[in-house]
Amino acid sequence: MKVIAVNGSPRKEWNTATMLQKALEGAASQGAETELIHLYDLNYTGCTSCFACKLIAGKSYGKCAVNDDLKPVLRRIEEADALILGAPIYFGDVTGQMRSFLERLLFQYLRYSRDHRTLAPKRLKTAWIYTMNCPEAFVAQVGYDRLFKQNEMLLRMIAEGEPETLCSYETLQFEDYSKVDADMFDVEARQKRHQEVFPQDCQKAYELGARLAAK
């Protein structure tokens, strides 16, 4: 069993990365081999609309033809058994790096066919992990619930069963709020939540990873 986690945050040791690492620890507890990929370490673009992946009998049919840092990552994902995607929410969506990654991962498998069959070589167990400033009570109000459903729908192209979604709300953005222009936040409440609630979210991530890797 191989489980790959993809970090769509520019920070390698903050909320999103921490939860992904906990998910991989959970997977490892079930004997899985794990790998954490940081998208911001890679030099790549989104889909270039070359359509090489759509040319029947072409050498790149069903495979992204763009030759950059993402190409070997896409091949390793094809060899994995489970995929966990993690991203903070920026301006109501996942980060640009994550969105570009999704274009490259999924468009290569899309067929413009009435039978809706994809070109994905295998089905993976899949999950989303999101971190955000937004309180949980505001999710429907600001439309994040639609975003989460849409991203689950996208993963069904490669998913075995239903994708899981785990959210961590009202996360700690800064180590020292006194140094930034962010006086709209109740800093003490945010720090208290980080100490008390975020560890619970990390435990949920650990359990998610263990479920994905369970035989």
For residue 21, the model assigns a pLDDT of: 97
Strand spans (E) along the chain: 2-7, 33-38, 82-88, 125-131, 164-168
Predicted confidence band of residue 88 (pLDDT cuts 50, 70, 90): very high
- Nearest alpha carbon to residue 84 among 117, 120, 47, 130: 130
Q: Find the domain containing 73 and state its range.
A: 2-213
pLDDT at 84: 97
User: In this predicted structure, what is the pLDDT of residue 98?
Assistant: 96
Distance, in Å, from the CA atom of 171 to the CA atom of 198, rounded to the nearest integer, reads: 8
Query: Tokens at residue 69, please?
Result: 């840092």
pLDDT at residue 23 in the model = 97
**How much is the pLDDT for 50?**
92
CATH at residue 39: 3.40.50.360
Sign, Cα dihedral of 186, 205, 44, 103: negative
User: How high is the pLDDT of residue 70?
Assistant: 96
Give tens-digit pLDDT for 19-65. 999 999 999 999 999 999 999 999 999 999 999 999 988 899 999 99
Average pLDDT of span 134-140: 86
Average pLDDT value over all residues in the chain: 91
Task: Give tens-digit pLDDT for 100-129.
Answer: 999 999 999 988 877 777 888 889 999 999
Q: What confidence score (pLDDT) does residue 28 get?
A: 96
Residue 204 has pLDDT above 90, yes or no: yes
Q: How many domains does the chain have?
A: 1
